Structure 1
Amino acid sequence: MADTDRNPWRRFLALPNESRTKTLAMAFLVSAACALMVSGATVLLRPIQAANRAAEEQARIESLVRGVPGMADLLEQSGGSLSTVVIALEDGRAAEDVTAATLDATLADTQNWTTLEQGADLAGLGQRPDYAQIFLLRQGEAISLVLLPMTGQGYGGRIDAILAIEGDMNTVAGIAITQHSETPGLGGRIEDPSWQASFPGTQLHDDAGNLRFATARGEASGIHQVDGITGATRTTRGISNMVNFWLGPDGYGPLLRAIERDEF
């Protein structure tokens, strides 16, 4: 009996079930155990979740490419897959020390982000990653299609998209909106195939090489425009700003120039 009295755990269990101390302590212990299990499950499931997100993104990319006229046959001829590469945005070259497998860890380091000056931050990002993963489709040695992930700010928040550009680095082949928070029935129509159908064939630059992409107020009236969405001016303006930023000097501009010079 004396040994039992000296054991704190046994003394605790011996308390009446109606004891407030015992009730609060047991509630705390159960909560702590549940928290530990949830944390453990999160750690264990994180790689699976990352793999699922990567698979979903790849499926969207494949769907986008297959929707481009003539690209489905080209995919079949090339084995139905795209090549991917991580580029350093500053010079548009393939990154030497960063791969698709290490990209997330690299971007977790704040030193691998560049703060954007207000006048240059068309997409409303605040800062831009120094590295990005892109996707290429080649026909022989020539690049026939490049897929560029983009991020910008719409009316409701962040918009993520993938823009497909043909091998001339000037003709839009298509767009896929992969994530957005826009208002259903208004800005949310950016995910509708009927609106996205206005992108293919759009010319990004004029004859002088100036970036001219824009969203119209209504239907597109020129080769550099895509349709606007009635009642969603801020959303479509966000799309225009996003594309113009990412195709400019602080985005994929150096990459596009390198591809045009057959240096990629």
Structure 2
Amino acid sequence: EKNRLLFKQENVLIAAGAIEADEKGVTNEMIAKLFEQIDHVIIDQATGKTIEGDPESIDTAKLAKSPETSEATPNEFRRTMVKRISKQLLAYEVHITGLRAIKGLPADDESPDSIHCIVLPIHGNGLWGPMFGFIALSADGGKILGITYYQHKETPGLGGEVNNPSWKAQWPGKTALDESGAPIISVVKAGSVQHPDHEVDGISGATITSKSVSNMIHLWLGDAGFGPYLQTKRTTN
């Protein structure tokens, strides 16, 4: 259980850009220290407001199985195979300062010393099974800072490229939501990007995986997922 929590925390930090995947020198103590500056929050899905409680006691997957504690996923997202969404969601609000010191880097290192963002869990079906990951957004929810998948069954060299650093490097700086707050970010067919502000070049030879990533992000950033929460961030930041 402790290892699973640590693994999840590490991936939250990877999505936020606080550490790199497979970065040398990252210790369990360092991860714990960084997480002292991260608020794990419970969100009321319908209103987007944070609510009191212990996030570690909330099992959103379990809640999503009961009609009493979840809502049916809109039909347009049936391909994600996410049948229901919990009425309570979990998110990470990141307020890290002094990052270089915590990582033991020199003060004049060019890496960021502070990170303020939101990290949201996302999941949905890929080509061969469920994919689980995190997406990091700017504090107002408008821009993407990073994305990572920590569990998937996609084909190595094809759909498995969702975790290729060069593919993930396309995401930071992309616009996540349009002016109305609706998800605008999308993964398009490889080589067909026309709007680089909010389009990510798809993975060559992995059209279904690329579409799956697009669909699940639209689900989780939209009204049925974290949309109401992101709307509160747009109005307060």
TM-score over 0.5 for the pair: yes
Which letter does structure 2 place at the counterpart of 1:200? P
Residues 63 and 194 from structure 1, CA distance in 2 versus in 1: closer, same or farther, beyond 3 angstroms? same
Residues 256 and 185 from structure 1, CA distance in 2 versus in 1: closer, same or farther, beyond 3 angstroms? same
Residues 246 and 122 from structure 1, CA distance in 2 versus in 1: closer, same or farther, beyond 3 angstroms? farther
2:143 is the alignment partner of 1:171:
yes
Deviation at 1:152, TM superposition (A): 1.0
1:11 corresponding residue in structure 2: none
How many matched pairs? Answer: 202
1:232 corresponding residue in structure 2: 206
Equivalent residues in 2 for 1:1-264 (5 A)?
Answer: 50-65=1-16, 66-67=18-19, 80-81=34-35, 82-96=38-52, 98-104=53-59, 107=62, 110=66, 111-121=68-78, 123-138=80-95, 144-207=116-179, 209-219=181-191, 220-221=193-194, 222-262=196-236
Partners of 2:89 and 2:185 lie apart in 1 by: 22
Deviation track 1:94-118 (CA, whole Å, cap 9, x = no partner) reads 234x422320299357232222242
Whichever of the two has the greater Rg, that structure is 1
Partners of 1:218 and 1:253 lie apart in 2 by: 28
Q: Which runs of 5+ in 1 are unaligned?
A: 1-49, 69-75
Which letter does structure 2 place at the counterpart of 1:237? K
Identical residues among aligned pairs (%):
27
Which letter does structure 2 place at the counterpart of 1:151? H
Partners of 1:195 and 1:232 lie apart in 2 by: 13
Residues 209 and 132 from structure 1, CA distance in 2 versus in 1: closer, same or farther, beyond 3 angstroms? closer
TM-score normalised over the length of structure 2: 0.76
Query: Does the CA-based 8 Å contact 2:137-2:143 persist in structure 1?
Result: yes
Query: Does the CA-based 8 Å contact 1:186-1:230 persist in structure 2?
Result: yes
Measured on the aligned residues, the alpha-carbon RMSD in Å equals 2.5
Deviation at 1:123, TM superposition (A): 2.8
Deviation at 1:249, TM superposition (A): 0.4
Deviation at 1:122, TM superposition (A): 5.9
